[in-house]
Amino acid sequence: MLKLVCLAVLVACVSAGVMKFDDCGQGQIKLVDLSDCEGDYCIIHKGKDLKLHAELVPQEDAEHVNIVLKAKMNGIEIPVPGIDTDGCKHMKCPLKKGERVSFDYSMNIPKILPDIKAVVTAELVNGDNGDVLSCANVKGEIKA
C-alpha cells in the first residue's frame, strides 16, 4: 500500500499543471506536469485518475532506464517497493545524450489509501551503469 501512496503523491505532484519541483540531479528535468496539480504542493484525491508528464534531457546515452521511488515521511526516507521499475514502458528508449525525451505515466489513486503527506523522490537511473539520469523531489498529500 505504501508503494501506491508514494507513487500517487509523485504522480499527483507531477501531472495536473506545471509543478514546481526540487531538481536533485543536474538540471536535466525541464518540465513536470501533473493532472489537477500546480505550484509547489499537490493535493490528490482518492479514487481519481492521475496523469504525469515530464520532460528531460539526459546527459548520457542509456539503453535501459529504471525508475526508483523513495518517500520521506516524518523524517524517515524509505524505498517504495513494488512499482513498475521499467522506465522504457513510459518513455522511448534508448535515450540519447542531449535529446529531449518525454516521460508519461498514469494511474488511478485507490480509495483504500490512508491520508498521508510525503516528500517523494523519483529518479530515472541508467540501467546499464547505475548513473542517475534525472531526479526530482515533489511535496504533496493524498486525501479523500
Task: Report how far apart, in Å, the C-alpha atoms of 52 and of each of 25, 128, 136 are.
Answer: 19, 25, 13
108 CB neighbour count, 10 Å cutoff: 12
Is the pLDDT assigned to residue 93 strictly greater than 90? yes
The domains found in the chain, sorted by start residue, are 2-143 (2.60.40.770)
Q: What is the pLDDT of residue 36?
A: 83
Residue 87 phi, psi (nearest 5): -65, -25
**pLDDT (tens digit per residue) in 42-92:** 898 988 988 889 999 999 999 999 999 888 999 999 887 667 899 999 999
Contact 13, 110 (CB under 8 A): no
pLDDT top residue among 27 and 93:
93
pTM metric for this prediction: 0.78
Amino acid present at 16: A
